[in-house]
Amino acid sequence: MGRRKFILILSSIFLIAGIYALWRPVIVHAQASAEPVVLGVLFDFLRERWPRDRDALVQEADRQSAKLLVKSSESNDELQIAQAKELISQGVKVLLVVPHNLKKAGEIVKLAHDKGVKVIAYDRLIRDCDLDFYVSFDNQKVGELEAEYGLAKAGSGNYVLLGGSPSDNNAIMIHAGWMKVLEPAVKEGKIKIAVDQYTAEWRPVIAGLNMANAVKRLNGNISVVLAGNDNLAGAAIMVLEGKGLSGKVAVIGQDAELSALRRIVAGQQAMTIYKPIPKLAQAAMELAVKITRGEKVNQLFTRTINNGFKDVPALLLPPVVVDKDNLDKTVLQDGFYTKAQVYGQK
């Protein structure tokens, strides 16, 4: 090879290397400056268990490099719809909704779809609309587990059912679970459902009034109280305490609230249902991020739930029974609460 030809080839190599060196940093810079996925979540309110959900969702969003915008309507339908419009205008790609009203929230789904935004019903189903996805615990199973525990504790006598809000589909599903288990025992004459009432807005004061009326009408002759959640169970227990019946009636709730766990330790409440919220938040955020990336998500779902309009792909996590016997091996072992919080020990 001639000297001149060699120099030309060498010059060409250096030229290509120089172009690549200039080109490569531009690509790296473009990747680093890419904005994170923007997701939104609408809460009904931020009391009781819901601050824990919010914190778990925020943590999961951060872990998956997503930006999460959070709003709470404090149980106001019109405000929740307005907040949905605001989040959509801010560019969210997916909207997670904890609806205040199981039907009214269908307007949020339509608003979102008009702008190409997908909607995930988070823990509460939205009915009668073209909902995209539903992520929750198996709430009918929650009701079944409560009723089965009640029958095991007291297979006879009067049962008082204190359901949740009739505008919340979870309350309806829990009630369906109760009845699936209890109706055969009622038909066989083993038990009597003496009181069966929903509780508007999940308000403990209403559950307390219903419980007080039940105690008076039944002269305190009550075997089991099935409550829509632990706050309603707590209201029932306050009434029973005032009548000298605390610990004599099997009161059962759900959500594994700290106050309920303390009542279980004290022998005032028989059982609660534990729903590991971090697992729910992780499942919801993974689904939301996959949707925004255009990834396939059908493999995540094993069943559907009919919401009155369509069969909605549903991801339902299993609930867990917690009583005095397994409290340490469930909520404490998972770090849901500490031993000091539950038992008052340092």
Asked if residue 207 has pLDDT above 70, the reply is yes
Helix (H, G, I), strand (E, B) or coil at 115: coil
Q: In the structure, what pLDDT confidence band is assigned to residue 143 with cuts at 50, 70 and 90?
A: very high
Residue 179, pLDDT score = 98
Residue 127, pLDDT score = 97
Asked if residue 288 has pLDDT above 80, the reply is yes
Mean pLDDT in residue range 134-153: 97
User: Higher model confidence: residue 340 or residue 13?
Assistant: 340
CB-based contacts of 17-25 (< 8 A; 24+ apart in sequence):
none
Mean pLDDT in residue range 87-98: 97
| Domain architecture of the chain: domains with CATH | 37-131+277-316 (3.40.50.2300), 139-275+321-343 (3.40.50.2300)
Asked if residue 174 has pLDDT above 80, the reply is yes
Q: In the structure, what pLDDT confidence band is assigned to residue 2 with cuts at 50, 70 and 90?
A: low
HSE (CB half, 13 Å, CA atoms) of 198?
A: 15
User: Higher model confidence: residue 12 or residue 256?
Assistant: 256
Asked if residue 39 has pLDDT above 60, the reply is yes
Q: For the chain, give me the number of helices (H) and strands (E)?
A: 11, 13
Which alpha helices (H) appear in 293-331, and where do they start and end? none
Query: Euclidean distance between the first and final Cα of the chain, in Å?
Result: 84
DSSP 44: S
Tell me the residue ranges of DSSP E strands in 56-156. Answer: 66-72, 94-97, 118-122, 133-137
Q: In the structure, what pLDDT confidence band is assigned to residue 1 with cuts at 50, 70 and 90?
A: low
Between the alpha carbon of residue 193 and those of residues 156, 157, 238, 242, the distances in Å are 10, 9, 21, 23
Check residue 111 and give left, alpha or beta (phi > 0: left; psi -120 to 50: alpha). Answer: alpha
Residue 8, pLDDT score = 47
Q: In the structure, what pLDDT confidence band is assigned to residue 48 with cuts at 50, 70 and 90?
A: confident
Residue 123, pLDDT score = 96
Residue 89: count of CB within 10 angstroms of its CB? 9
Reduce the secondary structure of 5-29 to three states and give it as a string.
Answer: HHHHHHHHHHHHHHHHHHHHHHHHH
HSE (CB half, 13 Å, CA atoms) of 57?
A: 28
CB crowding 145-165: b at 16 or more within 10 Å, else e: bbbbbbbebbeebbbbbbbbb
Residue 62: count of CB within 10 angstroms of its CB? 13
Kindly report which listed range (23-32, 35-44, 47-56, 115-124) carries the lowest average pLDDT score.
23-32
Q: Which range, 33-47, 267-281, 332-346, has the best average confidence (pLDDT)? A: 267-281
Q: What is the mean pLDDT of the chain?
A: 91
Tell me the pLDDT tens digit for each residue of 209-229.
Answer: 999 999 999 999 999 999 999
HSE (CB half, 13 Å, CA atoms) of 177?
A: 24
Asked if residue 5 has pLDDT above 80, the reply is no
Residue 302, pLDDT score = 82
Residue 34, pLDDT score = 54
Among 275, 271, 273, 229, smallest CA distance to 252 is for 271
Tell me the pLDDT tens digit for each residue of 331-343.
Answer: 999 999 999 999 9
